[in-house]
A and B are shown apart, each in its own frame.
Chain A
């Protein structure tokens, strides 16, 4: 199949993108003089149908067996032209792209020098084309199942779509309940739907769906394999409560000696819980969990005469002997929907979060206004960390209601001083929503918002912002510089930048509109899946425009805020996108694997294992072979796992690993042609 090379060179104008700078006629004339070049042509758009037809016609009529396309980056159109070759039964790996756009015409102004450079690039591609080898494209079967990591709204939606389509889904959630951040919210903007009311049906669905295996309070520990055949290991952390027996009655939590002693994570620490708890009433599954860090029996080995929860549980569900369970299974695809953290407001010490009781984050405020929250939805002044010891017969003081509430936007977003340059996309609107909710509940409460500028870009957003302002919420443009206390009041020091007036604004309560940041435990998933991060440290999609739910690794997709800040409809849309992307390989049942893989020369390999270490896909292992009677270890590549990144070839000191299509003997003449003689 390799035969004597007969090369066709096709120089693309790309409209004026290339031809505006590079003299394409001149490049064609030059290319036709190169050894083994049978035909050289130029055309306005090689990627167009007529452009591709030029190539296929020449292959058929002139018997070309190598094709050089001088156009854009191979990242752009290499797949296009590979298909062109394949359509006339020429091995697609007999294609070589010469990038004379990104690496030439786009970056040079002098037409003469640019044309000379284009010639060098084309010559380099031609000499490489002469040495190209036909490669086999292999296919592997795809396991018809998907792992979804994270059961917030994105993970839930993706899981439901895939399960509804008839594929098996393993939905893994770290927390005791599904629901993510969305279930913590009170209302959603701009429609003011009750967040829990629209989410709980979906939460119940994922728990009951015949195609979904839900694993809560669980963590993915190991991921091996490749698209179609991922090997997954999940640790189901012990709740010390038998999931089959627990009825969710709550007798145990009431009985717990430590009841009400620990901040409830779900309520952002505003509400309290015991050592055995249900994070919130609608939790799915409605099963109790013992917090082993705080349980008296599990930490001290003793809880009075006997653990109160165990006594209270009529179903006999509590079992302190229960251990973590490791579950292993195979999936074909993976969707990462791990969500986000909110910005740690302590990183902006000028706002005195953590110093004054009534400086809250917006997520804490969500719990405060929430009817299922610790105050039953009453907006009251907080007294944090104070243990209220009620004396016998003493009436509890009625809670104080704030007379004024001030919101500060862009806390931890659009702020280089904390390393977050990006806009979190949701804070403007959730602030407007929370301001509205305050006005709704406390008509006379004075509500002020300090903002940089209001970004009300979505459907119905601007209208909602207008409505909130009409309700009497006062917007002041200016970024506060300090919050301090004067008597009973908090003072927000700022400048109204529209009137250039410095001001000190007195208020009872400050709500910080904290931005969305990548999860602090992002690293765990990155290490498991070898994901990349963008500069904002959210997970990086394969292409910002055209592959927004894919990752660089085949078969692994992103959904929700783990990829970047977005609101609920965007997260749901991306989840549906990720679900349908994941279903493509599962529905077709087969997937092509990389052909430009690495090969080891086992004769010269010295078995040092550098390649094993550097391989980001765990595609290489050391195996023992017999070398002239001696047992030696050598590297061996699993071709189904190899993605052809070439890291191993670069790391190999003895030059024993070569990557197909990028072998030393293919690259060196190419380098020489570029002028390094």
Chain B
């Protein structure tokens, strides 16, 4: 586990540096044991910082999400570094962003968190209804320890672990300047059993399945906004001329949106699972993303977000590339 005092000490040191503008980390949320992002610019604020199995958010998103206001005439843009706390999975977003030249490596300072897994809040809520609001959760060995209403509950780690953690190949960040704990060895792997189950269905079954899922979509665009890989300043989906899909919320336009979203992530999605986590209507977006992820791995032997030096997959071509799947 990350030593919170050590974390704060390191954070204080970093934020006191002249070349660092802000630090993005986690702090206690206002609702039970949920955590939320913290944007620290002052050494006085570092005591807010925490890390716990409740720190599910992928903070890499905020690096590209930050609005760049016009620089007033006569002033220089603030190009100081941004420090960011990342878990293993989140770090791959940084790697992929750099692979796509979203920013230079020097622009960020990475505090790596070797991660043993985070909880799935939905699983907690299901198992202990209402407890989220008034409890605390810690990981001890292979058990989560829940404290609430003066009671203590022990739950096997696997029962509350987020799905992505059960198949995590990179628990230790792939990019960091400082590691906040001992490296964590790979404790899981991905067998794509869920994707294979989906692949086995007939085209009609798949269509019916997704039609039902997409019919629920309210087009809040949370999935797009939280995605660390969706960071075009001007998203094609927002354009009016040409308008690629209408604003109306109906299954046809929703489907077009989700197809475009998934295609734009093919060969780029790093499986942090944030899109599915934030979806208010529980669309299993990771099933789509994971299908692409599996295809990309099997067809091109490529894992997004693992090598910042490699050219982005969909910008490369080799003569011996597989093409037997092209109709």
Contact = CB atoms under 8 A, between A and B. Distances in A.
Interface in A644-663: 651, 653-656
Interface string B220-238: 0000000000011111100
A665 B235 CA distance: 17
Interface in B309-324: 311-312, 314-317, 319
A631 B104 CA distance: 12
A457 interface: no
Contacts of B71: 628-630
B315 A610 contact: yes
Contacts of A651: 314-315
B300 to A, nearest CB: 14
A622 B241 contact: no
Contacts of A655: 236, 239
A654 B235 contact: yes
B70 interface: yes
B68 interface: yes
Contact of A606 (B79, B231, B319): B231
A668 B242 CA distance: 8
A607 interface: yes
A613 B242 contact: no
Contacts of B264: 653
A633 interface: yes
A631 B319 CA distance: 37
Contacts of B141: none
A598 to B, nearest CB: 15
Interface string B24-40: 00000000000000000
B100 interface: yes
Interface string A605-642: 01111111110000000100001111101000000000
A630 B77 contact: yes
A630 B315 contact: no
B65 to A, nearest CB: 13
B77 A610 contact: no
Contact of B70 (A610, A612, A629): A629
A503 to B, nearest CB: 42
Contacts of B102: 606, 608
Given A604-B232, A604-B234, A668-B242, A629 B77 contact: yes
Nearest to B104: A633
A20 B314 CA distance: 44
Contacts, number: 66
Contacts of A664: 242
B202 interface: no
A488 interface: no
Contact of A614 (B70, B79, B317, B319): B317
B265 to A, nearest CB: 10
Contacts of B232: 604, 606, 653-654
A323 B39 CA distance: 57
Contacts of B248: none
A613 B69 CA distance: 30
B316 A609 contact: no
Contact of B315 (A609, A627, A656): A609
B134 interface: no
A603 interface: yes
Contact of B312 (A608, A622, A631): A608
A654 B236 contact: yes
A523 B102 CA distance: 33
A369 B77 CA distance: 78
Interface of A is mostly: mixed
A490 to B, nearest CB: 38
A656 B317 CA distance: 21
Interface string A103-136: 0000000000000000000000000000000000
Interface string B296-313: 000000000000000110
A665 B242 contact: yes
A622 B101 contact: yes
Given A604-B234, A606-B232, A633 B77 contact: no
Contacts of A627: 68
Interface of B is mostly: loop
Contacts of A656: 234
A604 B231 CA distance: 11
A148 B311 CA distance: 32
Given A629-B75, A655-B239, A610 B234 contact: no
A655 B263 CA distance: 14
A613 B313 CA distance: 10
Interface string B73-116: 00101010000000000000000000011100000000000000
Given A628-B71, A665-B242, A608 B100 contact: yes
Contacts of B316: 613-614
A629 B75 CA distance: 8
A243 to B, nearest CB: 37
Contacts of A665: 241-242
Nearest to B268: A653
Contacts of B241: 665
Nearest to A654: B232
Contact of B234 (A603, A614, A631, A633): A603
A133 to B, nearest CB: 16
B37 to A, nearest CB: 23
B315 A614 contact: yes
B233 A604 contact: yes
A610 B316 CA distance: 9
Contacts of A610: 100, 312, 314-315
A613 B239 contact: no
A606 B79 CA distance: 17
A39 B102 CA distance: 52
Given A604-B234, A607-B101, A628 B239 contact: no
Contacts of B319: 523, 526
Interface in A550-589: none
A665 B240 CA distance: 11
B314 to A, nearest CB: 7
Contacts of B239: 655
A523 B320 CA distance: 12
B101 A633 contact: yes
Nearest to A613: B315
A664 B244 CA distance: 10
Contacts of B236: 653-655
Interface string A522-549: 0100100000000000000000000000
Nearest to A622: B101
Contacts of A613: 311-312, 315-316
A609 B100 contact: yes
Nearest to A609: B101
19 contacts: A523-B319, A604-B232, A604-B234, A606-B232, A608-B312, A609-B312, A610-B315, A613-B316, A614-B316, A614-B317, A622-B101, A627-B68, A628-B68, A628-B69, A628-B71, A630-B68, A631-B77, A654-B235, A655-B236
Interface of B: 68-72, 75, 77, 79, 100-102, 231-236, 239, 241-242, 264, 311-312, 314-317, 319
Given A608-B101, A631-B77, A664-B242, 12 more contacts: A606-B233, A607-B101, A609-B100, A610-B315, A614-B317, A628-B69, A629-B77, A633-B101, A651-B314, A653-B236, A654-B232, A655-B239
Nearest first, the 3 A-B pairs at minimum CB distance are A629-B71, A613-B315, A628-B70
